[in-house]
Structure formats: C-alpha cells, structure tokens
Amino acid sequence: MKYGILSIAVASLLVFSGVSLAAEMPAAAKSKCLTCHALDRKVVGPSFMDISKKYKGDPDAVAKLVANITKGGTFGWKITSMPPRGMGANDAQIKAMAEYIAGLAK
C-alpha cells in the first residue's frame, strides 16, 4: 500500500513539473516552434531538452541559439534542416525562445 501511494505521489510530481515547464514556454514556441519541436521528445527537430543539454554550461548559449534560430540549419543534429527564423519568428520571439531553451538544463 505504501508503495502505491508513493508511486502516485512521484507520478503527480513529474506531471506537475512538466506542466510548469510548459507554462513558462514563450508564446512563440507554442505558436511556431511546437510545429517541429517538443519539450522532451524528438518530433521533426530535436527536443528542447536535448538542445538545452547540448549547450549546458556554455556562457554563450543564448547568443549561439539566437544565431542558429535566426540563420536556420541542422546544427550537427543530422536531421532535417530548420528554416531561417523557424516559422517566421521575430527577433524578440527568437531571443525569448533562446533564453527559455538555454535555461532548461540548468
């Protein structure tokens, strides 16, 4: 019985932690980026968590992500190429998304 309650508690925490991460996601991601990316799984492009892990500890992560999102490309993922500016994001949306992604793996 104790293990059943513990399992439910742990599962609830995982669900709510995922919801809180999604709630903080910039509006641009919800309207543009989620077409090809997801928080924790590969869709067309890599997951936001995988991208964040790639840049973890890099003090220039946000600047690199802004540059990559702006110019588009594959960035060493060996998958389909992201178009420049994704789905037409503006500079403010790109910066917000880069900051969000960089902050995930901290």
The verdict on residue 2 lying in a domain is no
The verdict on residue 100 lying in a domain is yes
The verdict on residue 95 lying in a domain is yes
The verdict on residue 11 lying in a domain is no
- What does the pLDDT read at residue 18? 43
The verdict on residue 20 lying in a domain is no
Q: Considering the entire predicted model, what is its pTM?
A: 0.74
- What does the pLDDT read at residue 79? 80
CATH number of the domain that residue 31 is part of = 1.10.760.10
Which secondary structure element, helix H or strand E, spans residue 51, and what is its range? helix 48-55
- What does the pLDDT read at residue 49? 96
- What does the pLDDT read at residue 76? 85
The verdict on residue 8 lying in a domain is no
The verdict on residue 17 lying in a domain is no
Domain hosting residue 48, numbered range:
26-104
How far apart CA 22 and CA 5 sit, in angstroms, is 26
Number of domains the chain is built from: 1
- Which residues of the chain fall short of a pLDDT of 70? 1-23, 28
- What does the pLDDT read at residue 45? 92
In whole angstroms, what separates CA 41 from the centre of its chain?
A: 10
